[in-house]
Structure 1
Amino acid sequence: MVTVTLRFYEELNDRLAPALRRREFERACPPGATARQVIEAFGIGLDEIELILVDGESAAFDRVLREGDRIAVYPVFEAFDVTPLLCVREAPLRVTRFITGGHLGALARLLRMAGFDTLCGAHLSSSAIAGIAARERRIVLARERALLARADITRGFLLHSETAVLQLRKIVERLDLKRSVRPFTRCIHCNATLRGIDDRSCVRQRVPASVYDRYEHFSICDDCGRVYWPGRHWNAIAACLADTELA
């Protein structure tokens, strides 16, 4: 048999026996066993795992384990982008989604401009925001400590900056989201994904004639029907994103 040392992090511990949680422990496995086989023996699905480190180096699921290997297993990362470290898959598992509390409507629009799925909870109760965040795995953004102090909110970000642009910059820096930015792919009004228009004639009756004659490329929101084009408003958005060093 081969003896290895394992350590599981964050919510992966919920799948372990209490005596094994949040600490290193040894496990014997047959010669030729892979990281995948050892991990699956604990009932943890591979779709729950984002990163495996063996002796401090990123490893793939099919890594054959050797005597004395020290294995660290991590779930989906929210705090930083692990793309450069990945060996188990081509792209990170995380899909960063937000819900804002209080008076953060301007921030919600900016996040949508940057391509992030963001719900505005300005008119929702604290319990409703917590419920949505839990069901949809959203990060709660708030300026009130009381909201984030709720026991049922496990992923939140307290904002101190006064302007939406500064708030956006802080979120992107803290959560390492630069690689995830997809400007102008989401409707800033209703949060739905925009669809590019191949045949612009289909929006002829939905935009001013001067706009139709001037621009070749349009996008449409199939949910609320709004049409977008690279005009002055688009340029203003681009300038705003440039101020946050995202564009």
Structure 2
Amino acid sequence: MAAAEIRFHDRLNDLLPPPRRGRALAHEVSRRAAIKDVIESLGVPHTEVDAILVDGLSVGFEHILAGGERVDVYPWPIAPREARHLRPVPPACPRFVLDAHLGRLARYLRLLGFDCRYRNDIGDAELAAIAEQEDRVVLTRDRPLLKRKRIQLAHLVRHEDPWRQVEEVCDEFDLYPAFAPFTRCTRCNGRLARVEKAAVAHRLEPLTRRYVEAFLECQDCGQLFWHGSHVSRMDALVERLRRRGLSRQRP
């Protein structure tokens, strides 16, 4: 039985058990197997892979391994220049769909102006269907979900802390130039629009009605937003992210 020698490069090693990181892995090929299936059997979803070289030649996920080959697997963006890129190019302002465990990340991304589909009861099959039908980027911490063939563009979120997750996703997709804060409802994802105070005065608490003049209203769910102490905190967080984006552009 012949074995293929497989080496995962750079951050793909994060997805391997510690003893298997940073070294060539011998994988026995007992039958003709698509390289996608072999890579995923070792714990790396295809959505994390940008290029594959087999004995120095660039191949696609459909390539069949017979055994005896040397395989190098690269993530975006460090693939060799001559390699065929397997990861779709994300749009400048991507739309997302998030799994049921990433509610706070969804709210942060909506705050920044990004279109995020999210429900806390969404199932894997529905999430994959939404991603395919609406050309959305999947964000998840569920590795098996990303092995579904209909999911093409996704990111396996590494961090557990929601704010670190925001930074991670902004870095991964270079979202900084596309920020449009306070244009989406953090509760339902609807668009926000300015509304006259007189039109919503009956919905306000007495102190809000007295001291606040400018309001935004969600065009879908009707939620009202106005500048308060929480908005000042969010302004500071957005500015912190903008500085992070600028620092990444410097040589």
- Show the counterpart of 1:152: 150
Alignment of 1:230 onto 2:230: no
Alpha-carbon distance in structure 2 between the residues aligned to 1:164 and 1:244: 14
Alpha-carbon distance in structure 2 between the residues aligned to 1:155 and 1:121: 20
Deviations 1:78-111 (A, max 9, x none): 1xxxxxxxxxxxxxx7541111113100000001
Q: Which runs of 5+ in 2 are unaligned?
A: 1-58, 60-87, 245-251
- Show the counterpart of 1:221: 218
CA RMSD of aligned residues (A): 2.0
Deviates more, 1:200-209 or 1:183-192: 200-209
SS at the partner of 1:141?
strand
Alpha-carbon distance in structure 1 between the residues aligned to 2:243 and 2:169: 12
Alpha-carbon distance in structure 2 between the residues aligned to 1:203 and 1:219: 10
Q: Please tell me the residue identity of whatever aligns with 1:169.
A: E
Alignment of 1:190 onto 2:203: no
The counterpart of 1:207, out of the listed 204, 219, 239, is 204
Is contact 1:165–1:243 with CA below 8 Å preserved after alignment? no
> How many positions carry a matched residue from both structures?
158
Q: With structure 2 as the length reference, what TM-score do the two structures score?
A: 0.59
Alpha-carbon distance in structure 1 between the residues aligned to 2:212 and 2:89: 40
SS at the partner of 1:140?
strand
Alpha-carbon distance in structure 2 between the residues aligned to 1:113 and 1:146: 29
Shift of 1:121: 4.1
Identity of aligned residues (%): 32
Q: Please tell me the residue identity of whatever aligns with 1:202.
A: A
Alpha-carbon distance in structure 1 between the residues aligned to 2:97 and 2:221: 20
Q: Please tell me the residue identity of whatever aligns with 1:145.
A: R
Shift of 1:186: 0.4
Is contact 1:166–1:244 with CA below 8 Å preserved after alignment? no
- Show the counterpart of 2:96: 98
